[in-house]
Amino acid sequence: MAWLDAMREWLRALFLKAQEERELDEELRFHLERAEAEKVRRGMSRSEAARAARLEIGGVESVKERVRGERGTRWLEDLGKDLVFGLRTLRRSPAFAAAAILTLALGIGGNIAMFSIFDGVLLRPLPYPGADRLVLIWTTIADRGMDRSLSSPHDVDDWRAGNRTFDEITAFSTRSAKLSGGEQPEMIRLAQVVPGFFRTMGVPPVLGRGFLDAERDGDAGRVAVIGHALWQSRFGGAEDVLGRTLQLDDERVEIVGVAAPSFDFPGADVALWTPLPRPLAGISRSSYWTVPIGRLEPGASAEQAAADLGLIMRRLAADHPENRGLGVRLERLHEVAVGDARPTLRLLWITVAFVLLLACANVAHLLLARANGRQKEMVIRTSLGASRSRVLRQLLAESLALALLGGVLGVGLAAVAIELLPSLAADTLPRVGEVVIDGRALTFALAASLLTGLLFGALPAFRVTRASGPAVLKQGGQRSVADRSSRWQSLIVVGETAAALVLLVGAVLLLRSLGALLDVDPGFRPERLLSVRLSPVKKVQFSGDEEAYRAAYGPERERIRAFYRDLSERIGGLAGVSGVALVNQRPLAGSAWGVRVVVEGSEDLEPTELPTAASRVVEPGYFRTLGIPLEKGRTFTASDQAGDGGVAVISRATAEMLWPGEDAVGRTMSFRDGQWVRVVGVVGDVRDQSLESPAKATIYSPFAGATHGFHSNWTMDVLVRTEGDPMGSAEAIRALVAQADAELPIVEEATMSEEIHHSTARRRFTTGLLGAFGVVALALAIIGLYGVIAYSVARRVHELGIRLAVGASRQDIFALVIRRGLALVAAGLIGGLAAAWMLSRLIGSFLYRLQPTDPLSYASAAMLLGVVASLACIVPAHKATRLDPLRALRHE
Amino acid sequence: MSDLVQGTLDLLILKILALQPMHGWGISERMRQLSAEVFQLNPGSLYPALQRLKRKGWVRSHWAVTENNRRARYYELSPAGRRQLAEEADRWERVSAAVNRIVRTAH
């Protein structure tokens, strides 16, 4: 292992230099002594021997120098000395150093922050062991046009039993529950999981155990694994928590385990886990409400696993007709968690890279200007014997010193930005809490600083050492050399202007998209509209007797309906409330049930050929309260029924889809096997999913007689239109709910205007950041432009003085200076427009109702930049007209 | 000494150290003896060469006391150095044989 010894030597040479020098000295002294002794032995006198030995060695210091050269640390030591020298030079020009370091810190810091964000959100594996083998399993329902549906627990159990490509499959479903027993009762979120969950995720409980298979049945299922945070907050982290009980809704559950700290799958608000009850044979298989997760066997690919499960599904379809047309779709957990953040982060990183380029350009300007003033120094150096490459290395070291200082400050800036990140972006980017500045980010910071230093330092360093010898040392000689470098400066400024324009175009495009989006009519009136989601806990339990179950189902539904009606009447009677509506799922609450619609004449079509629509169940008064306009026919009355022979109200999109160009009122359709309903009214479209997606075709059914559209526990959204601030009435509404049923938990309270605001969160985040960067880029480009023009005026003072002396007017001087500036701006604008047009594809997916080559956006960005840039040119031009010719002539 | 190519010098030093570990002075004396006074290795070439060999990991050094009770730095071959010596000796055989063949060709 030669390299081990070699490494040891190298490190000794680097860190134990003093000792090495002492040893070398002693060694050579020893050699001298022995050489002397040998010569004395041969007959020389002492003094002769001493001189002869010394001659033989030929200069102790030169031998030492050659040994030092062989140590292999020379280049590093030289670099270190150059860096220190560079820092000293910088100290002598603090203004320049400060400007350069700040500019660099901005550019490098932004990239460090982006790297950390990219790393923490996208690159780093999820915090579960072997997370790259975790996949989510979606059920595809061709019938309903859904390719990402939740799954039926029956199917999950069949997959668990029959698969050959998974180590383990589990599933979860979240719900809210009331947690009491202890101090204050509170609403919490819990996850019901299939036993094997903790094993699948790879994070076993730190105390106790996970669930047993037997705990899926009946009373044995009254157990829970509590989250670490809950353990601390409710039990003070007591060791004896196992065996104690909690009150969940109306059940007492026993604690059998405590989860690991910071484990909170599937959501940051999950407080505890309970077992998912085994699906009973009598319950329909077509209830899709769990999310299965599987851990692939080592070596099994997702494709193989999908094929495996698909085979099981086809076999099931033979025995169970309701499984026909079902398939599976696998998606890596990592992709689901972070996949859709990728385009946004990529865009932001490109933007920050542009900003860094601009920062480098500005610092290069500063260095070029400074370099022109150091021509004399360089010529003297080379004439004293320094090789050109040595001088070059030293200048580059100066640039590196600047860049490293900028990098250090940049790390600080990035750290601040990351601190602020959660409060700005928690609801737009996943995993923001996991973003930190760690070793990787610091390594990136170092690399970025070094590269940046080389980037902006190379050109000035080369230009400085290009000195043409003695000519420079003459008076005024520096000027002629400087003129050549001004061409480089012009080029760089044009590049800067173009880059800034690209960013500005991007910012304007995003801004206009955001504006267009915020203008979209959601189809209802969201202002002062409060939504309260209620979830009556009492379920009709299936205890094995199917008939009894069916018999109890109908009356139970009526009881719940009466309860809701009564409650909504009482809420309607509150002061400050001007309307109440009930719906099984409010707008902007996520994806909805899809149904396939059959109309007369299309009964023979295959289910997959039928059109789909979203289905809602509402109480009368819904449309009026929400402000959804009625376009044809009528809305529901108290006596309307759903079900076969009943009625429905459809949205305009549905009418267009089913009976284009005809009157839909009076037509009949079916979206539930065998149940035909008559259309009595057409209402306006509602943007149900998000402002961006076009309104889906929707079918509304009255509550009375509806047999579909509910989960097993009758969840309804109560929408309340208030006259003042909606949250102001929330308290009173909560009181009414508690009065009606003390045990009834309120699952969610939201104001619709907030929900709409929230749905544009990511877009606003991206637009805001890009806009901010655009402004920074604009500022940097303007500073660069101003600097270059002002500098060129300063250099031409002598020449301008001559012109003034021979009769040029102030206007001529002004025109002379500003011509150059405007030419640079124009070139930059043209280059920028071209570059933006070529890069426009990248931003296409972020735009709403706007082409990435939208001319108005390009024009306005160009105009903005053009105006500001021209102003930047006017100032130095104006200053040039104020020159005193006499003083100018005397200027070197 | 300037006739010696760097690689050949390395080979000679490695060989001398293979016989026994010794200090710099010892190496130069031994070189003189073994080469019948042809190679007079001066410190200006020896010590940089030794440093080079150390840097490549073929030679290690340690301080010890001589017979005269003086401190001196002794050098010895490392296992990698032994392998390198064998390789270099081999190469020298081939090269010198080839040179000899050409030079000794009667003309």
Q: How, if at all, do strands A647-651 and A675-683 pair?
A: parallel
Contact assignment for B47 to A67 by CB distance below 8 Å: yes
- Residue ranges of chain B whose CB lies within 8 Å of a chain A CB: 23-25, 28-29, 42-44, 47-49, 51-52, 54-58, 60, 63, 70-73, 78-81, 84
Closest chain A residue to the Cα of B56, Cα to Cα: A6
Residue A889 token pair: 């002539």
Interatomic CA distance for residues A148 and A308, integer angstroms: 18
Query: Nearest 5 degrees, angle CA A453-CA A458-CA A462?
Result: 150
Q: How far is CA A146 from CA A135, A157, A593, in A?
A: 19, 21, 9
Interatomic CA distance for residues A514 and A760, integer angstroms: 8
**Which residues of chain B are within 8 Å of residue A2 when distances are taken between CB atoms?**
56-58, 78, 80-81, 84
Residue A224 token pair: 């829970």
A82: closest CA of chain B, how far (Å): 24
Q: Which stretches of A366-522 are assigned E, i.e. beta strand?
A: none
Instruction: Single out the residue of A28, A87, A36 nearest to residue A59, CA to CA.
Output: A28
Instruction: Single out the residue of A243, A296, A235 nearest to residue A271, CA to CA.
Output: A235
The H or E element that residue A207 is part of is strand A207-208
Question: Residue A332 pairs with which residues in a beta bridge?
Answer: A135
Instruction: Single out the residue of A557, A594, A582, A556 nearest to residue A672, CA to CA.
Output: A594
SS3 content of chain B, % helix, strand, coil (to 5): 60, 15, 25
Question: Residue A618 pairs with which residues in a beta bridge?
Answer: A583, A702
Interatomic CA distance for residues A117 and A441, integer angstroms: 10
Closest chain B residue to the Cα of A3, Cα to Cα: B57
> DSSP code of B39?
-
Interface test with B, best of A12, A23, A31 (most B CBs within 10 A): A31
A85: closest CA of chain B, how far (Å): 29
Contact assignment for B44 to A10 by CB distance below 8 Å: no
B15: closest CA of chain A, how far (Å): 17
Closest to B57 (Cβ–Cβ): which among A5, A26, A57? Answer: A5
Interatomic CA distance for residues A249 and A253, integer angstroms: 10
**Which residues of chain A are within 8 Å of residue B23 when distances are taken between CB atoms?**
27, 30
Rg (CA), chain B: 15
In the block, tokens 């930049």 appear at A865
Interatomic CA distance for residues A229 and A236, integer angstroms: 10
> DSSP code of A546?
H
Interatomic CA distance for residues A167 and A1, integer angstroms: 43
Closest chain A residue to the Cα of B81, Cα to Cα: A2
Rg (CA), chain A: 38
Closest chain A residue to the Cα of B45, Cα to Cα: A63
Q: Are the C-beta atoms of residues A688 and A588 closer than 8 Å to each other?
A: yes
Closest to B42 (Cβ–Cβ): which among A4, A56, A72? Answer: A56
B67: closest CA of chain A, how far (Å): 12
Contact assignment for A1 to B80 by CB distance below 8 Å: yes
Contact assignment for A4 to B57 by CB distance below 8 Å: yes
B73: closest CA of chain A, how far (Å): 6
**Which residues of chain A are within 8 Å of residue B6 when distances are taken between CB atoms?**
none
> DSSP code of A730?
H
Interface test with A, best of B55, B66, B84 (most A CBs within 10 A): B55
Residue A55 token pair: 């001659």
Interatomic CA distance for residues B80 and B90, integer angstroms: 15
Q: How far is CA A330 from CA A42, A203, A302, A323, in A?
A: 91, 22, 7, 18
* The predicted structure's pLDDT at residue A480: 54
Contact assignment for B47 to A26 by CB distance below 8 Å: no
B43: closest CA of chain A, how far (Å): 6
The H or E element that residue A180 is part of is strand A166-180
User: Coil, strand, or helix at residue A199?
Assistant: helix
Contact assignment for A5 to B73 by CB distance below 8 Å: no
Q: Are the C-beta atoms of residues A733 and A310 closer than 8 Å to each other?
A: no
Interface test with A, best of B6, B30, B47 (most A CBs within 10 A): B47
Instruction: Single out the residue of A257, A330, A327 nearest to residue A295, CA to CA.
Output: A330
- The DSSP code sequence of A331-373 is EEHHHHHHGGGHHHHHHHHHHHHHHHHHHHHHHHHHHHHHHHT
Q: Are the C-beta atoms of residues A112 and A444 closer than 8 Å to each other?
A: yes
Q: Are the C-beta atoms of residues B59 and B50 closer than 8 Å to each other?
A: yes
**Which residues of chain A are within 8 Å of residue B84 when distances are taken between CB atoms?**
2
Contact assignment for B52 to A35 by CB distance below 8 Å: no
Q: Quick check: A71 contacting B, CB < 8 Å? A: yes
Interatomic CA distance for residues A323 and A637, integer angstroms: 37
Contact assignment for A30 to B43 by CB distance below 8 Å: no
Please name the residues in contact with A174: beta carbons below 8 A apart, sequence gap of 6 or more. Answer: A189, A190, A191, A192, A266, A267, A270
- pTM of the full predicted structure? 0.76
Q: Quick check: A34 contacting B, CB < 8 Å? A: yes
Q: Quick check: A55 contacting B, CB < 8 Å? A: no
Closest chain A residue to the Cα of B68, Cα to Cα: A34
Residue B27 token pair: 């190496």
Contact assignment for A2 to B58 by CB distance below 8 Å: yes
* The predicted structure's pLDDT at residue A711: 46
Interface contacts A/B by beta carbons within 8 Å: 80
Contact assignment for A62 to B44 by CB distance below 8 Å: yes
Closest to A66 (Cβ–Cβ): which among B44, B71, B78? Answer: B44
Instruction: Single out the residue of B90, B80, B64, B81 nearest to residue B17, CA to CA.
Output: B81
SS3 content of chain A, % helix, strand, coil (to 5): 60, 15, 25
Contact assignment for B48 to A69 by CB distance below 8 Å: yes
The separation between CA A270 and the C-alpha centre of its own chain, rounded to angstroms, equals: 23
Residue A316 backbone dihedrals phi, psi, to 5 degrees: -65, -40
Contact assignment for A33 to B71 by CB distance below 8 Å: no
* The predicted structure's pLDDT at residue A543: 55
Q: Quick check: A67 contacting B, CB < 8 Å? A: yes
Q: Quick check: A40 contacting B, CB < 8 Å? A: no
* The predicted structure's pLDDT at residue A323: 83
Please name the residues in contact with A368: beta carbons below 8 A apart, sequence gap of 6 or more. Answer: A459, A460, A463, A485, A488, A489
Instruction: Single out the residue of A403, A410, A396 nearest to residue A449, CA to CA.
Output: A403
Closest to A31 (Cβ–Cβ): which among B43, B52, B56? Answer: B43
Residue A213 token pair: 């298979």
Interface test with A, best of B1, B25, B32, B61 (most A CBs within 10 A): B25
Q: How far is CA A465 from CA A85, A470, A688, A838, in A?
A: 18, 13, 67, 37
Contact assignment for B42 to A58 by CB distance below 8 Å: yes
In the block, tokens 């009026």 appear at A624
Question: Residue A293 pairs with which residues in a beta bridge?
Answer: A136, A170
* The predicted structure's pLDDT at residue A10: 82
Long-range Cβ contacts of A442-448 (<8 Å, 24+ apart): A442/A411, A444/A111, A444/A112, A444/A115, A445/A108, A445/A112, A445/A407, A445/A410, A445/A411, A445/A414, A446/A407, A448/A108, A448/A111, A448/A112, A448/A115, A448/A356, A448/A407
- The DSSP code sequence of A50-113 is HHHHHHHHT-HHHHHHHHHHTTS-HHHHHHHHHHHHHHHHHHH-HHHHHHHHHHHHHHHHHHHH
Residues of chain A with pLDDT under 50: 711-712
* The predicted structure's pLDDT at residue A144: 67
